[in-house]
Each structure stands twice: as C-alpha cells, then as structure tokens.
Amino acid sequence: MVKVDDELAKQKQTVLIVFDALDSISEDWSRLSALIDALMRVVWELRGFEMIRAKLFMRPDQLSELNLRLVELPKLRSGSAKLDWKQADLFGLMFSRLAFDEQARGAFGRFIKLLNLGNLPEKPGNLGDWTLSKNEMLQRTLFEAMAGSFMGGGPRKGKTFDWPYNHLADGLGDVTPRSFLILMQRAAELSQSRGAGGLILLPQAIREGLREASKVRIDQLATEYPWIKRVLQPLAGLRVPAVPQVFFHAWAENTTVPAVIRIAERAKTLSPVSMSSAGRDDWSNREAELADRLIRMGVLTSRTDGRYDMPDLFRIGAALLKKGGVAPQT
C-alpha cells in the first residue's frame, strides 16, 4: 500500500474507494457487525496514506444497531456528513429541471420573467448562482403563482409551498428527492388533464401526487427490505395514532414475525428481528422488537404519549387511516 501511495503521489492522482450497500454482505447480525467493524478499521488505517481515500455510505440506523467496537469510531463519525435535503434544495432541484427541460424551458422562462424573478441560467454550470435554486422566499413566490397559496379555501388546510415537504418526511424527518419529484410530476399530469384554469398545479392534484409518492416509496423500500410489505399488510385499515398493543395484536393475529423472518431468509437479507435473543421457534413477544425496527427505519414514530404513528409517506400507501389526513387510494 505504501508503494501504491507513493506511485500515486508521483502521478498526482488520488484513488477514492467507495463502499455502499453494506447491509447486503451478511444475513447474520453478529457477522455483519464483525465485517463492518473490520472495514472501519481499514478505513481508519487508510488515513495514514496521502493519495488513497475511502468513503462509506451508511444509514444512521446501521450505525446505531450494529455492535461496532472500533475504538476510533467516534473520531470517524466526527468526520461524517449527513445527506440532508432541505425544502429549498428540493424546490431548487425541481426548478432546475424545468429550466433545462427542452419542452418546458421556453414557457418556464417566460413565466418567471412575468413574475419578475429574473432569467433562466444559460447552462447547468451557472445553477449555483441562480437565485431560484436556493432562495426559499423567491421559490415560495414562484410556487404560489403555480399552485395558489393554500391547499384549500384558507390556511387551515396548509400552505401549498410547505405541504409537500411536510407530508413527504419519514419518521426521521428526511425527504428524498425521488419522492418529491414523483409527487410533483403526478400533480402536473393530473392538473393538465383536469384543466387547472389559472393554476399550473391543482391542490387536489398535489394530494394525489402524495398518494403516488407513498406507493412508490413503499415499493422502493421493498427492494431493500423484502419483508416490509408483509409487515405493513396486517395494519391496513387501522387508525393512527394508536397504542402499541393495536399494532402488536394485528401482527400476532397474522403471524407476521415468523413470516417476515422466513422472507428475509429466502431473500438472504437481514431479518428485522434479531435471532440472537430467542430460539428459531420462539416467536412470542417479538412484535415490540419489530416495531422498534420500524421506528429506527423511520416507518413508524413513537409519540410522547406512547402511541405509535405512521408518517403519511408510508401511511397512505399502507392504507392506514388518520383523522383529517389524506385518505388512502380507494
């Protein structure tokens, strides 16, 4: 490694080694912990080289769940960065796409000129200086011109600019660009077909966009966690928030814990329930552990009064009900 580092230095080249999808390297929790612990040690030792760098992509729940013993782990974590999309980032992404879409660019450019919001950037390299890619106040002005100020007849239904971000957040407060863009794309399609009149996006179409985003997010989650739909299926029709026992009863009645463990075994992925704390045939009282796993994933939240809730991002696609909330697809 020293020779490789020296040779790279002579050539003035840097090598970046990227590690991703670490939860797929083992089905066993203890072995996965040992492997990632060893990888962390290697990454720590690479700090001694000048031209060789390593980057790890890990979910926060992986770091909290795995029993990592590397002494230098706190130092490694201090140099980490969280991939965090703020509301201004997401609207900036959407407006940037409109700015460079061949079909939309002309009309979009004329629209923002009409609102005295400046001109479109000439090339993608200029996006960093484009105010609509980062200025939330100007973004709000533009979006309200597109969709109106409120999701209903007044502020009680929520403001159109804030509503998508607030309803797309998971239990950890994170919103993904994919979910945001899916909501907006679906809202645009429906608004066009329904005749939006003076609006580009109809509030009711934005709600429909949330239903589509919820469905797609659960499908996406199922590629990482093949057992997730089997966990959500018994909860359909429940009204949230609800006390934990309501969830536990639904899972127990549908033998969910043994079912999801079998799914995980067949898919060769980690089980949502640790196998180290009970025998293979002892599934009793494991529903609380399953709920804790969903909370760490951001699929469930635990309220201060002890009841469980589910973010709209998952609730709607999983067909759970909530007073005053967007209803699941009928």
CA atoms within 13 A on the CB side of 265: 10
**Do 211 and 230 belong together in one domain?**
no
The number of distinct structural domains making up the chain is 3
Kindly report the three-state secondary structure assignment for every residue of 132-167: HHCCHHHHHHHHHHHHCCECCCCHHHCECCCHHHHH
- Alpha-carbon distance of 146 to 168, in angstroms, equals 20
Pair 248, 183 in one domain: no
Task: Compute how many other C-beta atoms are within 10 angstroms of the C-beta atom of residue 24.
Answer: 12
Same domain assignment for residues 43 and 135: no
pLDDT score recorded for residue 278: 47
91 with 177, same domain: the answer is yes
Question: In this structure, is residue 326 part of a structural domain?
Answer: no
Identify the residue whose tokens are 């590690």: 19
Residue type, 239: R
Q: Which domain holds residue 247?
A: 225-315
Q: Which two tokens stand for residue 17?
A: 């080694």
- Beta-bridge partner residues of 56: 19
Q: Which of 23, 51, 78 is the C-terminal boundary of a domain?
A: 78
Task: Tell me how crowded residue 147 is: count the other CB atoms within 10 A of its CB.
Answer: 25
Helix (H) and strand (E) counts for the chain? 15, 4
User: Of 176, 183, 168, 89, which is closest to residue 136 (Cα–Cα)?
Assistant: 89
Look at residue 47 and tell me if it is in a domain.
yes
Whether 257 is in a domain gets the answer yes
Quick one: 292 and 255 in the same domain?
A: yes
The token pair that represents 212 in the structure block: 């589509």
- The answer to whether position 105 is within a domain reads yes
Whether 109 and 199 map to the same domain: the answer is: yes
Start-to-end CA distance of the chain, whole Å, equals: 60
Residue 320 covered by a domain: no
pLDDT at position 67: 67
Q: Which of 51, 78, 105 is the last residue of a domain?
A: 78
Q: Give yes or no: residues 230 and 157 share one domain.
A: no
- Whose CA is closest to 124, among 102, 100, 94, 105? 100
Which of 19, 50, 78 is the endpoint of a domain?
Answer: 78
Residues 187 and 238 in one domain: no
Answer yes or no: do 42 and 105 share one domain: no
Residue 252 in any domain: the answer is yes
pTM of this structure: 0.83
In a domain, 309, yes or no: yes
Same domain, 209 and 103: yes
243's tokens:
């006390």
CA distance 40 to 53: 13
| CB contact at 8 A, 308 and 247 | yes
Q: CA-to-CA distance for 240 and 314, rounded, in angstroms?
A: 12
- Per-residue H/E/C for 276-297: CCCCCCCCCCCHHHHHHHHHHH
Examine the domain organization and report whether 94 and 208 are in the same domain: yes
Tell me: do 7 and 125 sit in the same domain: no
Task: Please give the average pLDDT of every successive group of 10 residues along the chain, which has 330 residues.
Answer: 90 92 74 85 89 86 69 79 92 97 95 96 91 97 96 88 98 95 96 76 96 96 93 98 98 95 88 66 76 95 98 98 90
Provide the pLDDT for residue 68. 75
- Pair type for strands 15-19 and 308-309: unpaired
- Residue 19 has, within 13 A of its CA and on its CB side, a CA count of 16
> For residues 290-322, b (16+ Cβ closer than 10 Å) or e, as one string?
bbebbbbbbbbbeeeeeebbbbbbbbbbbbbeb
Residue 100 in any domain: the answer is yes
Q: Are the C-beta atoms of 213 and 311 separated by less than 8 Å?
A: no
